[in-house]
Chain A
């Protein structure tokens, strides 16, 4: 984007710009993770308990299961016509794992408030809370599935049906159960400031933060995009066949109502 202050005027321009943003975030985050890793050249202390973790530290310090909040800023997100588009860009770019709150900067205020906070911290915080932060919602996504290819395992044999089950206890006491197979996404409307109790049971080869197959309970907040359950796998699994991949991408956009119906129909019609 060599003219970053311009605004997409057509839907085609918009969706291409969003695609570029996803890829830019993915590559930028990949590079960041590459840098955020253990110091090279240090001889580790002879502590057997650390031997296992050393391998992980060499890859990156960043454990997405421990990242509870992702915030996006910049004109592209601010100008996104539907907030769910911003949420999807952040989810696709960073591939959050576990339960992750998503927020975005309303009109590129975060950096300026950072400067203001050095002289007027209370004022900066108030503006940050009330005007700068847009609560997009929450992403629920398990890490995995873990497939041991060296043992001859195949994805479709290990994960035959349900990848994740989410039970939501709504404010009125009613319980809503969402069951998603691998490759599915779902969006559950829940407004900003509303909370629900969730009980998440991942597939035995998936991890929500407590270990493979372990059930997790939590209270999560909604947002303008609601709760997004992402069962596309982490790392995200895409069909290898190009046509199937296109159909899959359109299906995700449709289920999230991320773009106008007319555009989705045009994609579906090929």
Chain B
């Protein structure tokens, strides 16, 4: 029997979620294997080197870069204070003098006789890595971090902005309703709002005013997203935006009703504490935004068996959701998975599948254009 595997966005009522909590540079791990941690437990910490400010001291003093080491009064690695003279020079038997005073506290990190620059680095800043999800530490990587595991409900979105946050889930709109600012009130403070086919710019602004933790909705207008952020999104990773909330888009750009199974699952978790992260990377090593609700009472070992079954892929009878035009959003059941390649209107020869949609119609689509609905 033919089968296929198309990695889709996960929308799972119960699964095992593992999160690696790794420091960007070596540091100290504060927990041990087997420890039960809360989402706000600090599991590892380190100190991040401060930013380096490059100052063209040779140019300021009017000397050749090669003369800079003689003019600088400190050595690399020495501390400097704001207002302290870092470099000075004199000429014509001391008649003309010039000097450079540091504009901040820090450490002298570089004296370059090539560029004539002096680098003054801010002091290291402490960085703490939180557990992010409540669960059990199942692995410790010495000096690097830990892996935290928990049974959880897990929902992936297609695109997101904003970093890791926590809050109670609160449904405020139906899947096909536009999430406007009048739906966001003071009762939403600290909550993760769920629902809607589109979040408007005004709703985002209002949510930030109301100190909403996060928004999970179907779509967003790209121009409004640019207005909200104040700049156009780049192509690298998201999640580091300097904004007051985290936003997870489950379907795509512009108005798109949130998939029913996503909405139903999130609605069933109303009032539960969730971890949310908007980080998205769309290229090799893909990262999708997520909502994680740690569950108490589920047994991890039983769930591991389910994971093995799902990894086998797609068969006739598997529930799928179509994720590209002309049938985008259609939900149905795999009817046939022919092994032979078939030609599309575009002239491409691809593997296809036949899907019986819930409205009774049968459509043929490339296998790559559907995702398994993992519930």
Interface string of A2-17 (1 = CB under 8 A from B): 1111111111011000
Verify if B252 is at the interface (C-beta below 8 Å from A). yes
Question: Given known contacts A28-B235, A43-B65, is B159 in contact with A9 (CB within 8 Å)?
Answer: no
Verify if A116 is at the interface (C-beta below 8 Å from B). no
- Cα distance A4–B323 in the bound complex, in angstroms: 11
Verify if A41 is at the interface (C-beta below 8 Å from B). yes
Verify if B95 is at the interface (C-beta below 8 Å from A). no
* B115 and A6 form a contact (CB under 8 A): no
* A3 and B348 form a contact (CB under 8 A): no
Contacts of A6 in B (CB 8 A): 323-324, 366, 368-369
- A: number of interface residues (CB 8 Å): 24
* A10 and B348 form a contact (CB under 8 A): no
State how many angstroms separate the Cβ of B253 from the closest Cβ of chain A: 7
Question: Given known contacts A2-B158, A3-B158, A41-B116, is B347 in contact with A260 (CB within 8 Å)?
Answer: yes
Contacts of B350 in A (CB 8 A): 7, 79
* B323 and A3 form a contact (CB under 8 A): yes
Question: Given known contacts A6-B324, A10-B345, is B369 in contact with A43 (CB within 8 Å)?
Answer: no
- Cα distance A182–B7 in the bound complex, in angstroms: 47
Contacts of B344 in A (CB 8 A): 7, 9
* B158 and A81 form a contact (CB under 8 A): no
Contacts of B56 in A (CB 8 A): 41
CB-based nearest A residue for B364: A9
Contacts of B284 in A (CB 8 A): 111
Contact of B369 among A7, A14, A24 (CB under 8 A): A7
Contacts of A10 in B (CB 8 A): 325-326, 345-346
* A8 and B159 form a contact (CB under 8 A): no
- Cα distance A1–B369 in the bound complex, in angstroms: 13
CB-based nearest A residue for B369: A6
Verify if B114 is at the interface (C-beta below 8 Å from A). yes
- Cα distance A65–B192 in the bound complex, in angstroms: 54
Interface string of B140-183 (1 = CB under 8 A from A): 00000000000000000011000000000000000000000000
* A14 and B368 form a contact (CB under 8 A): no
Main secondary structure of the interface of B (DSSP, over half): loop
- Cα distance A3–B322 in the bound complex, in angstroms: 11
Verify if A42 is at the interface (C-beta below 8 Å from B). yes
Contacts of A13 in B (CB 8 A): 324-326, 346
Interface residues of A in 19-43 (CB under 8 A from B): 24, 28, 39, 41-43
* B346 and A81 form a contact (CB under 8 A): yes
Contacts of A7 in B (CB 8 A): 324, 344, 348, 350, 366, 368-369
Contacts of B158 in A (CB 8 A): 2-3
CB-based nearest B residue for A7: B366
* B326 and A9 form a contact (CB under 8 A): yes
CB-based nearest A residue for B347: A81
Interface string of A242-262 (1 = CB under 8 A from B): 000000000000000000100
- Cα distance A8–B235 in the bound complex, in angstroms: 21
State how many angstroms separate the Cβ of A108 from the closest Cβ of chain B: 9
- Cα distance A111–B283 in the bound complex, in angstroms: 13
- Cα distance A246–B297 in the bound complex, in angstroms: 62
* A8 and B346 form a contact (CB under 8 A): yes
State how many angstroms separate the Cβ of A58 from the closest Cβ of chain B: 15
Interface residues of A in 53-70 (CB under 8 A from B): none
* B282 and A4 form a contact (CB under 8 A): yes
Verify if B334 is at the interface (C-beta below 8 Å from A). no
Contacts of A5 in B (CB 8 A): 6-7, 368
Question: Given known contacts A3-B324, A24-B235, A41-B116, is B345 in contact with A9 (CB within 8 Å)?
Answer: yes
* B253 and A2 form a contact (CB under 8 A): yes
Interface residues of B in 276-332 (CB under 8 A from A): 282-284, 323-326
- Cα distance A8–B328 in the bound complex, in angstroms: 12
Interface string of B99-130 (1 = CB under 8 A from A): 00000000000000011110000000000000
Interface residues of A in 146-204 (CB under 8 A from B): none
Contacts of A111 in B (CB 8 A): 284
- Cα distance A262–B7 in the bound complex, in angstroms: 34
- Cα distance A3–B253 in the bound complex, in angstroms: 12
* B324 and A43 form a contact (CB under 8 A): no
CB-based nearest A residue for B114: A42
Verify if A234 is at the interface (C-beta below 8 Å from B). no
* A9 and B324 form a contact (CB under 8 A): yes
State how many angstroms separate the Cβ of A86 from the closest Cβ of chain B: 13
Question: Given known contacts A9-B369, A13-B325, is B159 in contact with A2 (CB within 8 Å)?
Answer: yes
Q: By CB atoms of chain B within 10 A, which of A7, A9, A42 has the most?
A: A9
State how many angstroms separate the Cβ of A109 from the closest Cβ of chain B: 13
Question: Given known contacts A2-B252, A41-B56, A41-B116, is B346 in contact with A9 (CB within 8 Å)?
Answer: yes
- Cα distance A2–B235 in the bound complex, in angstroms: 11
Contacts of B115 in A (CB 8 A): 39, 41-43
Verify if B365 is at the interface (C-beta below 8 Å from A). yes
Contacts of B235 in A (CB 8 A): 24, 28
Contacts of B7 in A (CB 8 A): 5
Contacts of A4 in B (CB 8 A): 282-283
* A82 and B347 form a contact (CB under 8 A): yes
Q: By CB atoms of chain A within 10 A, which of B7, B114, B159, B325 has the most?
A: B325
CB-based nearest A residue for B251: A2
State how many angstroms separate the Cβ of B71 from the closest Cβ of chain A: 15
Contacts of A39 in B (CB 8 A): 115
State how many angstroms separate the Cβ of B64 from the closest Cβ of chain A: 8
Contacts of B116 in A (CB 8 A): 41, 43
10 A-B residue pairs with Cβ-Cβ distance under 8 Å, sorted by A, are A1-B282, A3-B252, A7-B348, A8-B346, A8-B348, A24-B235, A42-B115, A43-B64, A43-B65, A260-B347
Contacts A2-B158, A2-B159, A9-B346 supplied; 4 other A-B pairs, CB < 8 Å: A7-B324, A8-B324, A24-B235, A42-B114
